[in-house]
Amino acid sequence: MTMNTQGRPTTPESVSMSSIETVSGSRGLLQAEGLIFEIGTPETTGVDLPAPKGTKNRLGGVARKQPTGLPGLSEPQAVRHYMRLSQKNYAIDLGLFPLGSCTMKHNPRLNEKIARLPGFGDIHPLQPQATVQGALELIDELATWLKTLTNMPAVAMSPKAGAHGEFCGMMTIRQALIARGEVETRKRVLVPESAHGTNPATAVQCGFIVDEIKANKRGRVDMEDLKAKLEKSDDIAGIMLTNPNTCGLFETDIKEIADLIHEAGGYFYCDGANFNAIVGRVRPGDLGIDAMHINLHKTFSTPHGGGGPGSGPTVLSEALAPYAPVPFVVKDADGMFRLVEDIEGVASESFGRMAAFHGQMGMFVRALTYILSHGADGLKQASEDAVLNANYVQARLKSVMTAPFDGYCMHEALFSDAFTAEGIETIDIAKALIDEGYHPMTMYFPLVVHGAMLIEPTESESKAELDRFCDALESIARRAAQGDEALKGAPYLAPMRRLDETKAARKPVLKWEEPVVAPPVAAE
Amino acid sequence: MRYLPLTADDRADMLKTIGAKSVDDFYADVPESARLHGTVDGLPNHQGELAVERHMSKLAAKNRAASSGPFFVGAGAYKHHVPASVDMIIQRSEFLTTYTPYQPEIAQGTLQTLFEFQTQVAALTAMDVANASMYDGSTACAEAAVMATRATRRKKVILSGGLHPHYAAATKMLCEAQGIEVVQLEHAIDGELALADAVDDQTACLIGQSPNTFGTVTDLSPVAEAAHGKGALLVSVFTEAVSLGLVTPPGEMGADIAVGEGQSIGNGLNFGGPYVGLFACTQKLVRQMPGRLCGETTDADGKRGFVLTLSTREQHIRRDKATSNICTNSGLCTLAFTAHMTLLGGKGLEQLAVLNHEAACDLADALAAVPGVEILTPRFFNEFAFRTPMNAEAVLAMLDEAGIVGGVRASRLFPGDHMGDVILCAATECTTQEDIAAYAAALKEII
């Protein structure tokens, strides 16, 4: 016998590689994995606890009757369970994640390390304040950065996500109207039809009535429509406007809009979801806004975590600052930081408390770490790169896809489905991108553009990554223009084929239940 | 700048492809007066990892970590041990750095864990269905109140005297903005059952808590009966999720909606956030629920998979008619919760709950033996209130000097309720016999 000196043989040409079924259901590195309810038992555990002493309980009979029956897994089983599941997810750490309006930028690992320092991760919100001076100082320091970057005099730090920040901003407006004695009469809030769904939902949650304003042919607020809506102005509470807007465009007339709203006696709420386009280039406070939330989980890189947690600090103008929610941090004359938690004294005009405790501290730590790493110069460069990357994508794709508006974009490039052949839809293009190894762009949003495809590459992408992405999308776009029916079946190469969402909603199965074993058929 | 991949050459090339002279061209729509030249004034420039870490570590060092000594603070957030594997799992890039699973074909990892999470929360609360999380317990409570008004078409909610004051405040704020009347019953250590007497036929829901803010556990079944007798709902609240392993869960008391804080399972203290709001209800109410729901379906090949579902309730579809404005929730915190719960298993949670209860019983015995101390909570799980013969703030400050974080003064949560001499304290599986002995000894010295 001699050693094979040329390595192991490769697959012979005669062997077909097509659709191989496996016994296990796994496909190579992609492991099949059942639900914990199918692989665990209630007796199994991955946590070793000391035996209880057997003290007589003092629950006074208020004790659970039915055990939960929930399964446990040993540590190796649990680790594998989650590792196998993780591999069925796409993530920014794997590749470009061009979800428009979501700012899927790189999440620096230093942020994670710092957030896990015991002095931040292991402190209780109700510890004596003397024992958490560093935490309060951190909140104050982040607040200072946010106020300076926006040129706004105040910031409410407690909102827990973007929509919660919107809620905060609109509640301060409501409280200001209460102070003016006009909350019963000023009920109308103007919201562009291109707005995020959270905007109208938030306005209604605050007791306002939504009045939609149209977009013009350039994708901006239609000023004629706005002026018409403001003709009767004594019922105007304010406007909710995203800037840069959801078409990825800067609202050219924003200062005039601010002036018109103020003249009408209303307030200007700006949705700051797209702040990443302008950090260090434009300060929203210079545009006449009264309130704006900042998504720390977008602009300031705290991880999206599969749907949260977020954090939505909301900057406020002089006019709205007195109505900010509790709690907030103040620095006393002796240099000590203090939480103002009750509606009295400096907070006597506050609209109230939005949630328990003091906001998303874990996100504050990460955001401040990101901000200090970037500094004033890096933040500006990041925004410019984000905008440059989006314009590059727009320039590379506008000959094969349809750009609905002329001119440069901000940090996201928008396309409509006008270029596709009959029968091919935006969703088919999105799903085909999955086969190319990418997360799809935001689809069917904003609503003002037919079959919208909104692409936000962020500053985290190199030119080579952008080129690779544009090559893939260009090829898909050409197939879509030619009416390639194969697109309707995409994705073919993902862990799953297209999932039936209609079926899921028709008869919702929202938890696992023990399969019903069919009774044995009785002998006749 | 270490986070920015574009080189100066790349930027020049790209501008050429675009046909722009400089990035300034892209900002041409910005009103002239609002354009910044140079960087924002008054802010430092970028720094390396080492410098940033140094700065942040200095801030962290000014805080006293809960693990650094005897620690007895509860009242809505709890110091528990989180297994090492939980933190490793939530730091997997594929979970940490992904978005809301709107593209299910490449998000089955997140979706399956959400489906498992929902099943666990439904079982723990003994309710029919649970959603994929809210921001935290307090906002879940506020949303439950509003949901009850939608389901009953009534405009009044009644809060118990033991409901966490922050939960009450968040609920009051959300309700009042929508013209919903909120009645707060008098603060009481053992007064949850007073809800039953307060209900009338205008009431949408009664909101009670067990264990409540003073630690009192209460069987809310009579409250559920009274509510249902008047066509109202019972919203049952908890702030300590570990209690569900031992204490009567909402579903066994006839609750229609169960809400609570899930921080205790899998999540650190983090100075109050991010946490994870648990939200469950009866099958009948599912279409009134706020927040995301994950459901089972099949793919084009007939294979089982999971998707976000019933989204016609949500803001991105229903806009101004949505059940809530919530969008981002607590994704990664749900993963920490479900991973820790999976490691524990049903029996493990039960045992953990018993250990918590026993630690609290030992603490209560040790403190009760200190002359002048009176334990006020009649039935408790892992926290209780006690009265001292001195001002609570002064007592806590002196305990602090002895290296002991002794609890929360009740007057911080209930200002104006004449509770200046009351301390709320908690014990968990992290509490040692030495911690308890040190607390009792220090307290004896002080009072």
pLDDT tens digit sequence for A469-507 = 999 999 999 999 999 999 999 999 999 999 999 999 999
Residue among B301, B292, B94 nearest A498 (CA)? B301
Q: What integer pLDDT is reported at residue A518 of this predicted model?
A: 74
> Across residues A443-463, what is the average pLDDT?
96
Cβ-nearest to A90 among B26, B106, B413: B106
Most A CBs within 10 Å: which of B36, B41, B57, B63, as the mutation test of the A interface? Answer: B63
Residue A401, pLDDT above cutoff 90: yes
- Say if CB A120 and CB A320 are below 8 A apart: no
Q: What integer pLDDT is reported at residue B317 of this predicted model?
A: 82
- Within 10 angstroms of residue A323's Cβ, the number of other Cβ atoms is 25
Topology at the third CATH level for domain A112-370: Aspartate Aminotransferase; domain 2 (3.40.640)
Give CA separation, B387 vs A368, B128, B192, B210, B398, in Å. Answer: 41, 40, 20, 21, 16
Cβ-nearest to A496 among B5, B108, B119: B108
A274 touches chain B (CB under 8 A): no
Measured over the CA atoms of residue B73, residue B74, residue B76 and residue B77, the dihedral's sign is positive
Q: List A residues 433-462 in contact with B (Cβ-Cβ < 8 A).
A: 434, 439-440, 445, 459-462
Q: What integer pLDDT is reported at residue B314 of this predicted model?
A: 84
> Across residues B20-26, what is the average pLDDT?
97
Q: How confident is the model at residue A12 (pLDDT cuts 50, 70, 90)?
A: low
Q: In chain B, what percentage of residues exceed pLDDT 70?
A: 100
Q: What integer pLDDT is reported at residue B328 of this predicted model?
A: 86
Shortest Cα distance from A25 to chain B (angstroms)?
Answer: 10
Three-class SS string for A240-298? Answer: EEECCCCCCCCCCCHHHHHHHHHHCCCEEEEEHHHHHHCCCCECHHHHCCCEEECCCCC
Contact between chains at A40 and B345 (C-beta distance less than 8 A) = yes
Q: How confident is the model at residue B273 (pLDDT cuts 50, 70, 90)?
A: very high
- Say if CB B29 and CB B21 are below 8 A apart: no
Q: Among the listed ranges A13-22, B221-230, B415-424, which one has the minimum average pLDDT value?
A: A13-22
Token output for A63: 């004790």
pTM assigned to the model? 0.97
Cβ-nearest to A392 among B14, B65, B299: B14
Q: What integer pLDDT is reported at residue A4 of this predicted model?
A: 56
The pLDDT tens digits of the residues spanning A322-350 come to: 999 999 999 999 999 999 999 999 999 99
- Within 10 angstroms of residue A336's Cβ, the number of other Cβ atoms is 13
- Say if CB B123 and CB A72 are below 8 A apart: no
> Across residues B267-291, what is the average pLDDT?
97
Q: What integer pLDDT is reported at residue A18 of this predicted model?
A: 56
Q: What integer pLDDT is reported at residue B316 of this predicted model?
A: 84
Residue A62, pLDDT above cutoff 80: yes
The secondary element (H helix, E strand) that includes residue B175 is helix B165-177
Distance, CA of A44 to CA of B377 (rounded, Å):
35
B357 touches chain A (CB under 8 A): yes
Q: What integer pLDDT is reported at residue A262 of this predicted model?
A: 98
> Across residues B251-255, what is the average pLDDT?
98
B192 touches chain A (CB under 8 A): no
The pLDDT tens digits of the residues spanning B328-379 come to: 899 999 999 999 999 999 999 999 999 999 999 999 999 999 999 999 999 9
Q: How confident is the model at residue A9 (pLDDT cuts 50, 70, 90)?
A: low
B319 touches chain A (CB under 8 A): yes
Q: How confident is the model at residue B312 (pLDDT cuts 50, 70, 90)?
A: confident
Residue A23, pLDDT above cutoff 70: yes
Residue A17, pLDDT above cutoff 80: no
Shortest Cα distance from B345 to chain A (angstroms)?
Answer: 3
Q: Could you report the predicted ipTM of this complex, rounded to two decimals?
A: 0.97
- Within 10 angstroms of residue A223's Cβ, the number of other Cβ atoms is 15
Q: List B residues 37-66 in contact with A (Cβ-Cβ < 8 A).
A: 39-49, 52-53, 55-66
Most B CBs within 10 Å: which of A56, A75, A123, A453, as the mutation test of the B interface? Answer: A123
Topology at the third CATH level for domain A375-496: Aspartate Aminotransferase, domain 1 (3.90.1150)
The pLDDT tens digits of the residues spanning B31-62 come to: 999 999 899 988 999 999 999 999 999 999 99
Q: What integer pLDDT is reported at residue B138 of this predicted model?
A: 98
Residue B393, pLDDT above cutoff 90: yes
Residue A16, pLDDT above cutoff 70: no
If you measure CA to CA, which chain B residue comes closest to A369? Answer: B52
Residue A14, pLDDT above cutoff 80: no
Contact between chains at A495 and B210 (C-beta distance less than 8 A) = no
Q: What integer pLDDT is reported at residue A169 of this predicted model?
A: 98
Cβ contacts of B17 on chain A, cutoff 8 Å:
392, 395-396
Q: Where are the domains of chain A?
A: 112-370, 375-496
- Within 10 angstroms of residue A12's Cβ, the number of other Cβ atoms is 6
Average pLDDT value over all residues in chain B: 97
If you measure CA to CA, which chain B residue comes closest to A327? Answer: B166
- Within 10 angstroms of residue A66's Cβ, the number of other Cβ atoms is 10
Q: List A residues 1-20 in contact with B (Cβ-Cβ < 8 A).
A: none
Contact between chains at B76 and A112 (C-beta distance less than 8 A) = no
Give CA separation, B27 vs A217, A380, B1, B32, B37, in Å. Answer: 19, 13, 22, 10, 12
Contact between chains at B36 and A280 (C-beta distance less than 8 A) = yes
Contact between chains at B274 and A311 (C-beta distance less than 8 A) = yes
If you measure CA to CA, which chain B residue comes closest to A39? Answer: B342
Cβ contacts of A500 on chain B, cutoff 8 Å:
297-300, 307
Shortest Cα distance from B288 to chain A (angstroms)?
Answer: 14
> Across residues B132-156, what is the average pLDDT?
97
Q: What integer pLDDT is reported at residue B416 of this predicted model?
A: 87
Q: How confident is the model at residue B417 (pLDDT cuts 50, 70, 90)?
A: confident
**Side-chain half-sphere exposure of B142, counting CA atoms within 13 A:** 28
The pLDDT tens digits of the residues spanning B174-232 come to: 999 999 999 999 999 999 999 999 999 999 999 999 999 999 999 999 999 999 999 99
* Structural domains of chain B, ranges and CATH numbers in brackets: 66-81+347-446 (3.90.1150.10), 84-340 (3.40.640.10)
- Angle among Cα A502, A505, A511 to the nearest 5 degrees reads 130
> Across residues B430-434, what is the average pLDDT?
98
Distance, CA of A311 to CA of B209 (rounded, Å):
27
Distance, CA of B341 to CA of B180 (rounded, Å):
36
Distance, CA of A321 to CA of A153 (rounded, Å):
8
Token output for A385: 């790169």
Contact between chains at A310 and B91 (C-beta distance less than 8 A) = no
Distance, CA of B131 to CA of B360 (rounded, Å):
31
DSSP E strand stretches across A466-518: none
If you measure CA to CA, which chain A residue comes closest to B358? Answer: A55
Residue B141, pLDDT above cutoff 60: yes
B349 touches chain A (CB under 8 A): yes
